[in-house]
């Protein structure tokens, strides 16, 4: 298993191009199952989760092609072609689904297009139990029959297909919104989805579906209305920039007293983080192609943050922000309201000298002037990158073990940071 070695203490300065959003690309790829024509997706990031979903789609019968795949160009110009002319297999096996929970996103499209699907239950993961009950209940409201058997979801649509319905989600779920949005496009009649997630990745998916011929209104609001149709056609769509990658490097600039411009991205995607950074004393501004963070030894103040569904502060930036707060003056209270077990990074940060006490869903962080490098263990995607950030801001050497978690969601992380002056390298094993 690869490791990453960092010798911390450098102030980072430079420009980092941001990749397409993994969490937008995954549902967009699943949307190809809704049409027998080709869906071409540009700005596809170079990350392992994309390869995992491509493998799953291929075994459903999707022809997957990749053009412009030059690793030195990052994701710029990388176009994935997905053509689901014939669905040859409706089973998503455990071996593939357990690797990546987002595989559940094939359920709605398969059910809508071919009337049946057998998808492994994803199981829990490092950050919580993460059930999929909302997805299943809502698909049943569209007329599906669902049974759980031997760890698999067996789902069947009525003979004449799924039927539009009015569905109110009991709480906000990104994945359930995406699954239902896709399924409703091929259901008969009108579907109204209320209390939906409003993440930009959902709007990106809706825009792509519209380009494929779907009729959807209410984009960006908590209520989506879909007029079902018989067929969707091919389309070309550019994946929106990755707001979590953007935010992670913004925090890298802030924690190293640095100066980094993030390009190919958008300020509005990271506004909740910008507001919090500014409140903590970090200067952030919008540029023509993205965001600029320039700190240069200004005061960093401890502030409180609570994660919430979009447009609130994203749970996927919680671990990184907590790492920043370990170096702030005064105390910060970080509250995680989305996942029940998302403080796995705390004991690892403590090994580097961070002072953090967890009380239920909140963590009290007391800032310290010095963090010290140490060998640490990555536990999930965002926890791993928070340890990288801590390593950049520590004295001495940090070794981050189990970096395969990082490779799921960050494209060329070492190269991007090294280009800004970080002493960081991958140790291959
Ligand atoms: C997506 C993102 C993930 C992000 C999360 C929250 C992708 C591929 N992943 O995950 O990076 O951290 O949104 O912004 O886009 N829940 C249920 N039952 C369900 C569905 C969800 O109880 O049927 C719970 C979850 O356990 C969690 C909360 O609802 O506590 C929110 O989860 P959800 O928004 O569904 O997250 P994902 O779509 O899995």
What are φ and ψ of residue 84, in 5° steps?
-105, 65
Q: Residue 22 CA: which ligand 1 atom is closest? A: 8
Please say if the pLDDT value at position 72 is more than 70: no
Question: Nearest to residue 119, comparing CAs of 130, 143, 135?
Answer: 135
pLDDT value, residue 295 = 83
Please say if the pLDDT value at position 338 is more than 70: yes
Question: Nearest to residue 336, comparing CAs of 309, 303, 307, 364?
Answer: 307
CA torsion angle for 401, 407, 409, 414 (degrees, to 10)?
80
Question: Nearest to residue 247, comparing CAs of 367, 386, 426?
Answer: 386
Evaluate whether 239 touches 20 at the Cβ level (below 8 Å): yes
| Ligand 1 contact via 25 beta carbon (within 6 Å) | no
Check if 125 is active-site: yes
Q: Which of 32, 75, 125, 185 is catalytic?
A: 125
| Ligand 1 contact via 174 beta carbon (within 6 Å) | yes
pLDDT value, residue 385 = 96
- Ligand 1, atom 38, lies closest to the CA of 175
Please say if the pLDDT value at position 201 is more than 90: yes
Residue 165, C-beta contacts closer than 8 angstroms, at least 6 positions apart:
141, 142, 143, 187, 191, 192
Q: How far is the CA of 104 from the centre of ligand 1 (A)?
A: 11
| Ligand 1 contact via 402 beta carbon (within 6 Å) | no
pLDDT value, residue 34 = 98
- Ligand 1, atom 30, lies closest to the CA of 339
pLDDT value, residue 146 = 96
User: Above pLDDT 70, what percent of the chain?
Assistant: 97
Extended strands (E) in 283-417: 284-286, 290-294, 305-306, 331-335, 355-359, 362-366, 375-377, 397-401
Q: Residue 175 CA: which ligand 1 atom is closest? A: 38
Question: Nearest to residue 282, comparing CAs of 258, 305, 262, 264?
Answer: 258
| Ligand 1 contact via 409 beta carbon (within 6 Å) | no
Please say if the pLDDT value at position 399 is more than 70: yes
pLDDT value, residue 1 = 83
Greater model confidence, 357 or 73: 357
| pLDDT tens-place string over residues 129-167 | 788 999 999 999 999 999 999 999 999 999 999 999 999
CA distance 299 to 281: 6
Question: Nearest to residue 107, comparing CAs of 20, 181, 160?
Answer: 181
| pLDDT tens-place string over residues 79-109 | 999 999 999 999 999 999 988 999 999 999 9
DSSP 51-119: HHHHHHHHHTT-EEEEES--GGGTTTT-EEEEE-SS----EE-HHHHTT-GGGGGGHHHHHHHHSEEEE
pLDDT value, residue 130 = 80
| Ligand 1 contact via 310 beta carbon (within 6 Å) | no
pLDDT value, residue 129 = 72
| Ligand 1 contact via 176 beta carbon (within 6 Å) | yes
Q: Residue 316 CA: which ligand 1 atom is closest? A: 12
pLDDT value, residue 169 = 98
What are φ and ψ of residue 158, in 5° steps?
-60, 160
> Is residue 126 very low, low, confident or very high in pLDDT (cuts 50, 70, 90)?
confident
| pLDDT tens-place string over residues 208-260 | 999 999 999 999 999 999 999 999 999 999 999 999 999 999 999 999 999 99
User: What value does the mean pLDDT of the chain take?
Assistant: 95
Evaluate whether 226 touches 208 at the Cβ level (below 8 Å): no
Evaluate whether 289 touches 296 at the Cβ level (below 8 Å): no
Place of tokens 């004393």: 281
Q: Which residues pair with 14 in a beta bridge?
A: 260
| Ligand 1 contact via 26 beta carbon (within 6 Å) | yes
Mean pLDDT throughout 332-356? 95
pLDDT value, residue 429 = 80
The pick from 127, 130, 381 for probing ligand 1's pocket by mutation, whose C-beta has the most ligand atoms within 8 angstroms, reads 130
| Ligand 1 contact via 187 beta carbon (within 6 Å) | no
Structure tokens at 224: 């989506």
| pLDDT tens-place string over residues 256-294 | 999 999 999 999 999 999 999 999 999 999 999 999 999
The pick from 31, 175, 386 for probing ligand 1's pocket by mutation, whose C-beta has the most ligand atoms within 8 angstroms, reads 175
| pLDDT tens-place string over residues 370-386 | 999 999 998 888 999 99
| Ligand 1 contact via 124 beta carbon (within 6 Å) | no
- Ligand 1, atom 29, lies closest to the CA of 173
Q: How far is the CA of 166 from the centre of ligand 1 (A)?
A: 21
Q: Quick check: pTM over 0.95?
A: yes
Evaluate whether 21 touches 29 at the Cβ level (below 8 Å): no
Greater model confidence, 381 or 168: 168
| Ligand 1 contact via 313 beta carbon (within 6 Å) | no
CA distance 409 to 26: 11
Of 2-16, 34-48, 73-87, 93-107, the poorest mean pLDDT is in 73-87
Q: How far is the CA of 235 from the centre of ligand 1 (A)?
A: 27
Q: Residue 135 CA: which ligand 1 atom is closest? A: 23
Cα distances (angstroms) measured from residue 397 to each of 319, 365, 375: 20, 23, 8
The pick from 29, 307, 338, 382 for probing ligand 1's pocket by mutation, whose C-beta has the most ligand atoms within 8 angstroms, reads 338
Helix (H) or strand (E) holding 154: strand 152-156
pLDDT value, residue 73 = 56
Please say if the pLDDT value at position 74 is more than 60: no
| pLDDT tens-place string over residues 58-67 | 999 999 999 8
| Ligand 1 contact via 318 beta carbon (within 6 Å) | no
């Amino acid at each position: 298993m690869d490791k990453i070695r960092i010798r911390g203490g450098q102030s980072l300065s430079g420009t980092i191009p941001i990749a397409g959003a993994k969490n937008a690309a995954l549902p967009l790829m699943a949307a190809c199952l809704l049409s027998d024509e080709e869906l071409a997706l540009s700005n596809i990031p170079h990350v392992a989760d994309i390869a995992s979903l491509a493998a799953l789609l291929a075994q459903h019968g999707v022809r997957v092609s990749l053009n412009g795949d030059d690793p030195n160009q990052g994701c710029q110009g990388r176009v994935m072609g997905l053509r689901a002319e014939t669905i040859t297999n409706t089973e998503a096996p455990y071996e593939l689904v357990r690797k990546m929970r987002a595989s559940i996103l094939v359920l709605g499209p398969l059910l809508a297009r071919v009337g049946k699907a057998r998808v492994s239950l994803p199981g829990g993961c490092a950050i919580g139990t993460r059930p999929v009950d909302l997805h299943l209940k809502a698909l049943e409201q569209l007329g599906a029959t669902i049974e759980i058997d031997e760890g698999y979801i067996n789902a069947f649509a009525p003979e004449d297909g799924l039927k539009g319905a009015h569905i109110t989600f009991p709480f906000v779920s990104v994945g359930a919104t995406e699954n239902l949005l896709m399924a409703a496009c091929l259901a008969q009649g009108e579907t109204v989805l209320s209390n939906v997630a409003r993440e930009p990745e959902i709007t990106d998916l809706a825009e792509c579906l519209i380009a494929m011929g779907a009729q959807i209104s209410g984009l960006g609001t908590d209520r989506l209305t879909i007029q079902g149709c018989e067929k969707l056609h091919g389309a070309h769509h550019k994946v929106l920039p990755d707001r979590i990658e953007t935010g992670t490097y913004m925090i890298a600039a802030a924690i190293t007293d640095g100066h980094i411009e993030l390009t190919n991205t958008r300020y509005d995607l990271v506004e909740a983080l910008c507001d919090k950074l500014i409140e903590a004393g970090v200067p952030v501004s919008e540029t023509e192609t993205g965001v600029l963070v320039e700190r240069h030894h200004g005061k960093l103040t401890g502030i409180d943050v609570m994660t919430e569904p979009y447009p609130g502060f994203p749970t996927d930036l919680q671990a990184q922000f907590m790492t920043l707060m370990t170096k702030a003056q005064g105390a910060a209270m970080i509250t995680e309201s989305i996942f029940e077990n998302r403080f796995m990074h705390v004991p690892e940060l403590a090994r580097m000298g961070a002072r953090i006490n967890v009380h239920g869903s909140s963590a009290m962080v007391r800032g310290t002037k010095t963090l010290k490098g140490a060998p640490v263990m990555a536990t999930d995607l965002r926890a791993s990158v928070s340890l990288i950030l801590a390593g950049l801001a520590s004295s001495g050497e940090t070794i981050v073990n189990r970096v395969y978690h990082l490779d799921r969601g960050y494209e060329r992380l070492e190269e991007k940071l090294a280009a800004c002056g970080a002493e960081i390298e991958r140790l291959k094993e």
